[in-house]
Amino acid sequence: MEKNKRIYTDMLRCEAETLRAGESVLLCGTVYTARDAAHGRIFSLLDQNQPLPFDLNGAVIYYAGPTPQKPDGQIGSFGPTTSARMDVFTPRLLDLGLVGMIGKGNRNDEVIAAIKRNRAVYFCAGGGFGALISRSIVKMEEIAFFDLGCESVKRLEVKDFPLIVAVDADGNNIFQRD
């Protein structure tokens, strides 16, 4: 059985060129969470030339929001949300330096074109595996839009986060059928 490729977020800009659609990887490093409401606020900040809660250059965004923490302090289930809900935002963020996204489901043609143009990558996390995914999160810090609750922006440190390359830097897409 082939071993999953371990990749690090701080090297993803270079690694993206080597990843292929359908490949299994283990992601390590810093990942930011943002869903619909947070993306709207990020766009408002961009439109007003205000600083963002994190540097987009080389960043990876996970489209997710956790369930509440357990009483013992452990992170709750942390599964992906449907990525297509962020498609309206994604090309601009990729053009501003975003290098990776994590979610579930297919992306539209504009997003795939932006992935190719920016030599980025889109990963899928296993829908329904939120409890398993949470085991890969070694640290979580809420950093922006605290009033959004589970949809606030969080900085995660992940280790061996299991993912599948869904769309690679060449635009190959696991959701396309011949």
CATH of the domain at 102: 3.20.130.10
Smallest CA-to-CA distance from 19 within 88, 101, 135 is with 101
The reply to whether 61 falls in a domain is: yes
The reply to whether 177 falls in a domain is: no
The reply to whether 176 falls in a domain is: no
The reply to whether 96 falls in a domain is: yes
What pLDDT, on the 0 to 100 scale, is given for residue 134? Answer: 77
To the query of whether residue 39 is one of the catalytic residues in this protein, the response is yes
pLDDT band at 4 (very low <50, low <70, confident <90, very high): confident
Listed in order, strand segments (DSSP E) in the chain are: 5-8, 24-33, 60-62, 100-103, 121-124, 137-144, 153-167
From the candidates 35, 39, 41, 154, give the one annotated as an active-site residue. Answer: 39
How many domains, in total, are found in the chain? 1
CA distance 87 to 83: 7
What pLDDT, on the 0 to 100 scale, is given for residue 2? Answer: 54
Phi, psi dihedral angles at 156 (to 5 degrees) = -110, 145
Q: Which domain holds residue 80?
A: 5-167
**Mean pLDDT across 154-159:** 94
Determine contact, residues 136/130, Cβ cutoff 8 Å. Answer: no
Tens of pLDDT, residues 82-140: 999 999 999 999 999 999 999 999 999 999 999 999 999 999 997 666 667 778 888 98
